[in-house]
Chain A
Amino acid sequence: MLLCPVFLHRRRLTLSKASYFRRYWQLYALLSLPLIYFLIFRYGPMYGVQIAFKDFNLFKGIGGSEWIGFDAFREVFGMREFYSTLRNTFMLNFLDLIISFPAPIILAIMLYEIKSVWFKKISQTILYIPHFISWVIIGGIVYQLFGNQSGMVNGVLESMGLNTIPFLTEKNPWLITYLFTGVWQSAGWGTILYLAALTGINRELFEAAEVDGATRLKKIRYITLPSIKPTIVTLLILNLGKMVSIGFDRPYIIGNTAVREYSDVLSTFVYRIGLESGQYTLATVVGLFQAVVGLIFILGSNYISKKVTGNGIL
């Protein structure tokens, strides 16, 4: 673990201040630039969070605007849209978890069972590619595949004499499109951690099972799966901890005004009311709400994960 107590070392430091500095000044010099970066670009915005409690005015600036206490919070908690975006955030994350979480597990087990090294390598190379594709490009591809007029899928449906499906413009079919892109993008990349856990299996277990006459499926059921169970449980709990946080690109790009009832989530809501409508204070309140609840979720899930599996991110 990274966080080992520094106090233990302090007692052993017999160097004088001057010789300590002579030995270590280069390290402080190296550290100074990144630290300045963190103070300005990571802690700077935290200073700006105060506008959630202020009647922010662009001309008066962050420091000069007047304090209004929790007025903006009251206003946000009275907005119908706030609750619908909160619900959508939970809904999309939850459905994503159900659909996208098992896929890499199954895929990793299938890859693990493949004996041909070159086939496995090529498969992995291709399966990882979607992870590196931006949501903008995915959005372009999705349009080409699922559009109403020129989409390939609807073209095929039409040529088979079936009805076309409005994958992009009606909320329930859109949900399928959204979830589909998630599986497509993340399933391959998600196998990496499971494959890493699988390389740790003791091969003798399989040999012993073979002597006992176990079939391949039985071996998967009783050896492979149990050995990645800790990884599965840890990742599941940690994923539950990310329920309130949602990226901006995916819902913003795959979504559109026709399906806003489902596609508007906290991150796109903040962008819309903040940068498009200029209601900086309200948008900051929503962002702060998301950050604080997100922090509670992450710390909570991390605590549970440590209790259950002994693994955590902290």
Chain B
Amino acid sequence: MMSERTSNRIFDIVNIACVTLFVLFCLAPFLHVIAVSLSSNRAITSGEVTIFPIEVNWNAYIQVFTNNAMIRSLIFTIILTVATTVLCMLFTIAAAYPLTKSKLKGRMLFMYVIIITMFFSGGIIPEYLLIRDLHMIDSVWSLILPGLVSPFNLIILISFFNNIPPSLEESAEIDGSSHFRTLMSIVLPLSMPVMATLALFYAVGRWNGFQDSLMYINNPDLYPLQLKLFQMVQNNMVSELTQMEGASRTALTPESLKAATVIFATVPILLVYPWLQKYFVSGVMLGAVKG
């Protein structure tokens, strides 16, 4: 019979090994892509590259960063993401704060108007026709306006506002503060964690968003990064399919360049996300518990 301490120890070791394996499973694809982006074309085509770069060089990154269209798309996407996030936050706050006031007449009606949209939507064809009728095809507004308020995020924010002790707001009101000032000077400063969470959700949603740009944007100057990247991936697919029929692959972009582009589009998210991690965990829970 094993002593309790050794069996505990074995359990811990096995457990940590399993978690480590899963962490590696999450990381390995990135490591491979990084390795490919840094390796020579010879090493890549001969299939030597797994998760360590071979014959290291930075040519792929130099090519990506000297590609004007790529840099323009990056800058456009960053501006688009920041603008979208700011507008989304303003609209979400503007909707959430009044809806926490139980004395507001018509509050339930407004709540229903919003909640219904969580469960039923017109579908992408009527959405497309609406954008078309509003003359927003090939306009940046088609990428910003349709997703301005996410009902899910709105409900997270309402739940958070509801948890702020009412006495704080009431005392401000007795002092003659207007609703608007109470919101700006008391409610918002107390809500920074949830605001950071929602801003992250909106920003990631816009950064990663792809279907709307596929539907609404035909002008290459307005291609967000994801759409540019998608075309690259799709070219891969086409080559993958035509290769089966024996076509040559000479005209294709080198693997290292594709890998570098993938990393190029991923890094901005990795730069922002870890700093907000402690906030969004509680934000997600709020959304799940209340809803």
| A and B: interacting chains | yes
Chain B residues numbered 21-53 whose CB sits less than 8 Å from any CB in chain A: 22-23, 25-27, 29-30, 32-33, 36, 44-45, 47, 49-50
CA distance A162 to B280 in the complex (A): 45
Find chain A residues with CB under 8 A from B281 CB: 192, 196
Chain A residues numbered 124-140 whose CB sits less than 8 Å from any CB in chain B: 124-130, 132-137, 139-140
CA distance A115 to B8 in the complex (A): 12
Find chain A residues with CB under 8 A from B50 CB: 152, 155-156
Shortest distance between the CB of A20 and any CB in chain B (Å): 8
Chain B residues numbered 224-239 whose CB sits less than 8 Å from any CB in chain A: 226-227, 229-230, 232-233, 236-237
The reply to whether B26 and A127 contact each other, CB–CB distance below 8 Å, is yes
The reply to whether B122 and A295 contact each other, CB–CB distance below 8 Å, is no
Q: Mark A234-277, 1 if CB is under 8 A from B, else 0.
A: 00000000000000110011001110000000010011001100
CA distance A147 to B236 in the complex (A): 9
CB closest chain-B residue, reference A27: B98
Give the secondary structure class of B's interface: helix
Q: Mark B3-23, 1 if CB is under 8 A from A, else 0.
A: 010011001100110111011
> Which A residues fall within an 8 A CB radius of B?
1-6, 9-10, 13, 20, 24, 26-28, 30-31, 33-35, 37-38, 40-49, 51, 61-62, 107, 110-111, 113-116, 119, 123-130, 132-137, 139-141, 143-145, 147-150, 152, 155-156, 158-159, 168-169, 184, 187-188, 192-193, 196, 213, 215-217, 248-249, 252-253, 256-258, 267, 270-271, 274-275, 280, 283-284, 287-288, 290-291, 295, 298-299, 313-314
The reply to whether B104 and A27 contact each other, CB–CB distance below 8 Å, is yes
Find chain B residues with CB under 8 A from A28 CB: 98
* Contacts known (A24-B104, A258-B241, A270-B123); A2 close to B18, Cβ less than 8 A: no
The reply to whether B97 and A114 contact each other, CB–CB distance below 8 Å, is no
> Which B residues fall within an 8 A CB radius of A?
4, 7-8, 11-12, 15-16, 18-20, 22-23, 25-27, 29-30, 32-33, 36, 44-45, 47, 49-50, 91-92, 94-95, 97-99, 101-105, 107-108, 110-111, 113-114, 117, 119-130, 133, 145-146, 148-149, 155, 158-159, 178-180, 183, 204, 207-211, 215, 226-227, 229-230, 232-233, 236-237, 240-241, 243-244, 249, 255, 258-259, 261-262, 265-266, 269-270, 273-274, 277, 281, 284-285, 288, 290-291
Determine which of B11, B23, B36, B180 lies in contact with A126 in the assembled complex, contact meaning CB atoms within 8 Å: B23
Find chain B residues with CB under 8 A from A126 CB: 23, 26-27
Shortest distance between the CB of A292 and any CB in chain B (Å): 8
Find chain B residues with CB under 8 A from A280 CB: 125, 129
Can you name 12 extra interface pairs (CB under 8 A) apart from A48-B130, A133-B208, A253-B210? A6-B108, A27-B98, A62-B129, A123-B19, A132-B269, A140-B229, A140-B261, A149-B243, A150-B255, A168-B240, A196-B285, A216-B7
Find chain A residues with CB under 8 A from B204 CB: 132
The reply to whether B125 and A283 contact each other, CB–CB distance below 8 Å, is yes
The reply to whether A37 and B148 contact each other, CB–CB distance below 8 Å, is yes
* Contacts known (A6-B107, A295-B120); A133 close to B241, Cβ less than 8 A: no
Find chain A residues with CB under 8 A from B288 CB: 193, 196
Shortest distance between the CB of A201 and any CB in chain B (Å): 16
